[in-house]
Structure 1
Amino acid sequence: MGGEIVRLLQPLGVEAAIQAITQCEHQSGEKQRQIELALEQARYDPTRAHRQYDTVDPDNRLVAGELERRWNGALAGVRALEEELEALLRQRPAALGVEERQGLLKMGPIWRPPGIIGAATAVTRKRIVRVVLREIVAQVEGDQIHLLLHWQVAITPA
């Protein structure tokens, strides 16, 4: 399968794969920034709700109960955004290093067996495959396995 990927991706496809990985990294960074901004706003809400709760007359239980409910809701919103941000940071793929980018541009050395100078790590190879393939269908016939590769997009030279 590595040979098939090399055949179809050189050289324009490699550039497209690098651009797709870079775009995915950028989108992940943008989503992180949006969550951080929402979290900053959300952290203000519990503080305001707490101040309102503290200023209410304790004898007015109906108002105090409503303000406490709002305060708890604001705290829950902050917790939810913090958890979403943590999950995003855990799932964020590592950025391609300079050496990996240069190796991708050469593409030939990428698919050498591990341990040989210039060979990419298994992680890099998997990332490339995930970017360019949508689905792999395996069919077993006797002692042979036939693979049907469904590509993400048709890559044609400009």
Structure 2
Amino acid sequence: ALAPAGLEASLKAAEQLEADHETTVEQFRRDVERARYGAQRAERRYRAVDPDNRLVARGLEAEWEGALRELKAAEAELARREHTRPLVLTSEERASLLALGKDLSAVWSAPTTTDRDRKELLRTLLEEVVMTVAREKFNAHLTLRWHGGLLSELDVPLPRSRPATVRTE
């Protein structure tokens, strides 16, 4: 599941994710510019209206306030998108990750690796685990979806236990 070729594909996918994120952030920057232009235009229209025409002035003021709310929402969304930037690996991190993929079995079976470390490693490598239990067959079918898209399937026998006794005391 974590062969060097799979790691390389995962790294390329991470690079594509970063590029897609940049495209998305650029789109939100354009949305902010569009909202800013709309707010400035609404302000100009409001300031240009004759103050004696209160009904029109109220309508234009409401339009301006709506445009300002849209601008504030667009700026908040842009800030949120910029702060949720995917992590970019340095070239040293990429090289050490590829080397780790080659030595994963050594890391897994090392005497210094605790069960907690193995569990954390699995949490990092697995994207999803789906378990289907067949009680009548005393069997559980596991589907493991690894980061990178590879699927592994396991059938695990379940312990045969006695039926619970009901007590009415």
Q: TM-score, normalised by structure 2?
A: 0.64
Measure, in 1, the Cα distance between the counterparts of 2:123 and 2:87: 10
| CA displacement at 1:85 relative to structure 2 | 1.1
Unaligned runs of 5+ residues in structure 1 are 1-7, 114-124, 140-145
Q: 2:52 aligns with which of 59, 66, 85?
A: 59
Range that drifts further, 98-107 or 23-32: 98-107
Aligned position for 2:145: 150
| CA displacement at 1:58 relative to structure 2 | 1.1
- Tell me whether 1:81 sits opposite 2:77 in the alignment: no
Measure, in 2, the Cα distance between the counterparts of 1:127 and 1:41: 42
Equivalent residue of 1:9, what SS? Answer: coil
Instruction: Select the structure of larger CA radius of gyration.
Output: 2
- Tell me whether 1:15 sits opposite 2:19 in the alignment: no
| CA displacement at 1:108 relative to structure 2 | 3.1
The change in CA–CA distance for 1:22 and 1:110 in structure 2 (over 3 A counts) is farther
Over aligned residue pairs, what C-alpha RMSD do you find? 3.0
Measure, in 1, the Cα distance between the counterparts of 2:80 and 2:131: 32
Q: Give the ranges of 4+ consecutive aligned residues of structure 1 lying more than 4 Å apart after TM superposition.
A: 109-113, 125-128
Q: TM-score, normalised by structure 1?
A: 0.68
| CA displacement at 1:110 relative to structure 2 | 6.9
Unaligned runs of 5+ residues in structure 2 are 109-120, 133-140, 152-169
Q: 1:90 aligns with which of 83, 96, 99?
A: 83
Aligned position for 2:65: 72
Looking at both structures, which has the greater relative contact order when contacts are Cα pairs under 8 Å and sequence separation is at least 6?
1
Measure, in 1, the Cα distance between the counterparts of 2:82 and 2:23: 12
Measure, in 1, the Cα distance between the counterparts of 2:104 and 2:82: 28
